[in-house]
C-alpha cells in the first residue's frame, strides 16, 4: 500500500471528497452494488445512496466486487428513491439520471458547473430509472453508443459517467 501511495480507510474518511454522490435506484445485482462502491472509492465520492430493492452491505456478493470499499465510502439506505432525490435537491445537488430517454443530453455534450454538487442516479438493470424519479431530475444524461445493443451494464455506465464528470470538474 505504501508503494502504491494508497490511503488507509481512516485517511480516506478524512480526505476531501469530490462533489459527487451516487444514487442507486432499485439496482438488483449485488455485484453492481459492489462495483458502485469500488468506483465510489476510486473517485472519492461523498456518499452512495442505496434505494428501494438495492442490496446493502454487509453481503458476500457486494463484498466480492467492492473489495473493502464498503468500509471507506459512506452510504445510506432509503426505501424511496424519489425521497432521496428531493432531499439531495434541497441540499443543492444537481440531479442527473443516466438513462436513454427522449430529450436526454449526451454525456460528451454535458458541461457541468464547477461550483455545483452532483447526484448521479442509476436505475434498475431491466426497467431503468423510475419515471417519477426521472421527472424530478434536473438533467437526464445518456452515454452515446454505436453498437446494436445500446445498453451498458450499470457498473460500466457508472464508471464512465463518474470519470467523465471528474474530468470536466477538474477533480483529476
User: pTM for the complete prediction?
Assistant: 0.96
Please report whether residue 141 resides in a domain.
Answer: yes
CA pair distance 123, 63, nearest whole angstrom: 21
pLDDT one-digit tens code per residue, 84-126 = 999 999 999 999 999 999 999 999 999 999 999 999 999 999 9
Which CATH number do you get for residue 135?
3.40.1280.10
Domain, as residue range, for 157? 9-168
Go through the chain and tell me how many residues it has: 172
How far apart, in Å, are the Cα atoms of 93 and each of 61, 117, 140, 148? 30, 5, 14, 34
For residue 87, the model assigns a pLDDT of 98
Amino acid at each position: 500500500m505504501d508503494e502504491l501511495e494508497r490511503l488507509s480507510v481512516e485517511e480516506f474518511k478524512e480526505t476531501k471528497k469530490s462533489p459527487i454522490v451516487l444514487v442507486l435506484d432499485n439496482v438488483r445485482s449485488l455485484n453492481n452494488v459492489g462495483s458502485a462502491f469500488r468506483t465510489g472509492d476510486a473517485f472519492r465520492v461523498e456518499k452512495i445512496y442505496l434505494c428501494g430493492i438495492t442490496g446493502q452491505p454487509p453481503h458476500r456478493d457486494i463484498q466480492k466486487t467492492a473489495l473493502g470499499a464498503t468500509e471507506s465510502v459512506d452510504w445510506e439506505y432509503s426505501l424511496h428513491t424519489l425521497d432521496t432525490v428531493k432531499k439531495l435537491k434541497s441540499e443543492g445537488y444537481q440531479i442527473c439520471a443516466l438513462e436513454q430517454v427522449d430529450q436526454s443530453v449526451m454525456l460528451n455534450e454535458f458541461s457541468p458547473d464547477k461550483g455545483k454538487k452532483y447526484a448521479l442516479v442509476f436505475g434498475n438493470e431491466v426497467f431503468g430509472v423510475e419515471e417519477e424519479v426521472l421527472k424530478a431530475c434536473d438533467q437526464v444524461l445518456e452515454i452515446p453508443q454505436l453498437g446494436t445493443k445500446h445498453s451498458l451494464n450499470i457498473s460500466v455506465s457508472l464508471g464512465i459517467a463518474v470519470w467523465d464528470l471528474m474530468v470536466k470538474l477538474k477533480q483529476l
